[in-house]
Amino acid sequence: MEPKDPLTYQRAGVDIDAGNRLVERIKPLAQGTQRPEVIGGLGGFGGLFALPAGYRQPVLVSGTDGVGTKLLLALEAKKHDGIGIDLVAMCVNDILVSGAEPLWFLDYYACSKLDVEVAEQVIAGISAGCQQAGCALLGGETAEMPGMYPSDHYDLAGFAVGIVERDAILDGSACTAGDALIGIASSGPHSNGYSLIRQILVRAGAHQHLQIDGEPLIDLLLRPTEIYVRAIQALRQQVTVHALAHITGGGLTENLPRSLPAGLAAHIDPHSWPQPSIFRWLQEQGQVEDEEMRRVFNLGIGMVAIVPWAERDRALQILADAGHRAYCIGQLEAGPEKKVVYLD
């Protein structure tokens, strides 16, 4: 019998040395997100984080998410720097709704064959997102799994943990009829609806060089999700916020009722904010009905803050000062169901 060459992990498709090189490259990226509460650094079996001082009854809030099939567009376009921001945004914006301050973030990067250059770009985006959110990139996991994915593909998941004082948790119970709905602008579709978007692109045909209002279509579709942490923190310090809603898959129609107590409905004027042209293009190309658009996309509103009607103008000014476009898009009214009513 002919002697066979000895098998190694690398011959099986897993390059341990490449993984080690990636760890060395991302250490400075993680270092740039550090908070005083971080204990130790990357490389251990777990990330260590001391709870901030000054809380009387601290409650931890956690959230996890991915970026959906937006990732496929990033892979096709070979644009990897913004997808990490999306990952952080989808997690921290969710826990922000409870009133939490994001403390730390963990990422999971899985691929068939590790491309150190691509992975570094993705994690640089995650680091940038953490800096925007004020949380530490506490650690993560890179998994090289030959045969699990196409050779040039990767997948992402993220995990965020935040903290809030028990009596400062936002649960919607303070909402009352007459409260103002303050819609904070999105940067585009964010990370939702991309399975439909990709079908629309197929129907539209050649789109690689298409521009909308002077900007490449692919750049509009890959624009990172807005991170609202600092804006909402500024808002809560200066006005009364009764509730928040992160507008993700399901749009205003599905997400806003999740933040309302029984007996209140959200009455929204869909003409009270400018709908970004990317949504009009998607609707026209896909011949998508209005109701479907409202149930799939954010249509230009990425976060809603519910504040007393008398404080609406102050809220709009604070958000503008924080660098966000915001609009009074409606108000709460008494109603038997927690739902959104569009005033077309």
Instruction: Kindly report the CATH number assigned to the domain that includes residue 156.
Output: 3.30.1330.10
* CATH code assigned at 318: 3.90.650.10
**Do 188 and 83 belong together in one domain?**
no
Alpha carbon distance 325, 312 (integer Å): 14
Spell out the residues 6+ positions from residue 4 whose beta carbon is closer than 8 angstroms to its own: none
Whole-angstrom CA distances from 115 to 13, 19, 121, 244, 303 are 12, 9, 10, 39, 35
**327 within domain boundaries:** yes
Domain end point (choices 133, 168, 203): 168
| Residue ending a domain, choose from 120, 143, 168 | 168
Residues 20, 131, single domain; the answer is yes
For residues 271 and 224, state if they share a domain.
yes
Residue 52 in any domain: the answer is no
| Residue ranges of E strands in the chain | 38-39, 48-49, 58-65, 101-111, 136-144, 154-165, 180-185, 211-212, 215-216, 243-246, 264-268, 301-307, 326-334, 340-342
Same domain, 192 and 335: yes
210 and 275 part of one domain: yes
pLDDT of residue 30: 78
Strand partners, 105: 137, 160
Provide the whole-model pTM: 0.94
Q: How many domains does the chain have?
A: 2
What per-residue confidence (pLDDT) applies to 19?
73
Residue 21 lies in a domain: yes
3-state SS of the chain: helix, strand, coil percent to 5? 35, 25, 40
At 303, list the tokens. Answer: 């976060």
Same domain, 253 and 191: yes
Q: Are residues 188 and 335 in the same domain?
A: yes
Q: How far apart are CA 285 and CA 110, in angstroms?
A: 34
66 with 196, same domain?
A: no
Give the residue ranges of DSSP H helices in 57-165: 70-77, 83-96, 116-133
173 assigned to some structural domain? no
Asked if residue 312 and residue 234 are part of one domain, the reply reads yes
Q: What is the pLDDT of residue 314?
A: 98
Q: What are phi and psi of 117, to 5 degrees?
A: -65, -45
pLDDT of residue 27: 80
- Residues 147, 66 share a domain: yes
How do the pLDDT tens digits run along the chain, 344 residues long?
Answer: 566 678 766 776 777 777 788 778 878 887 888 899 999 877 778 889 999 999 999 999 999 999 999 999 999 999 999 999 999 999 999 999 999 999 999 999 999 999 999 999 999 999 999 999 999 999 999 999 998 998 889 999 999 999 999 999 999 999 999 999 999 999 999 999 999 999 999 988 867 788 999 999 999 999 999 999 999 999 999 999 999 999 999 999 999 999 999 999 999 999 999 999 999 999 999 999 999 999 999 999 999 999 999 999 999 999 999 999 999 999 999 988 899 999 98
213 and 234 inside one domain: yes
* Any domain includes 51: no
The CA R_g of the chain, rounded to the nearest whole Å, is 22
| Amino acid 2: pLDDT | 61
Q: Report the relative pairing of strands 326-334 and 264-268 from DSSP bridges.
A: antiparallel
CA distances from 83 to 12, 70, 74, 181, 212 (A): 29, 8, 7, 29, 21
Residue range(s) defining the domain that contains residue 317: 180-342
Q: Is 122 within the bounds of a domain?
A: yes
- The answer as to whether 50 is a domain residue is no
Is 6 inside any structural domain? no
Name the one residue in this structure whose structure tokens are 């270092």: 31
Where does a domain end: 99, 133, 168?
168
Q: Do 154 and 189 reside in the same domain of the chain?
A: no
Q: What is the pLDDT of residue 3?
A: 61
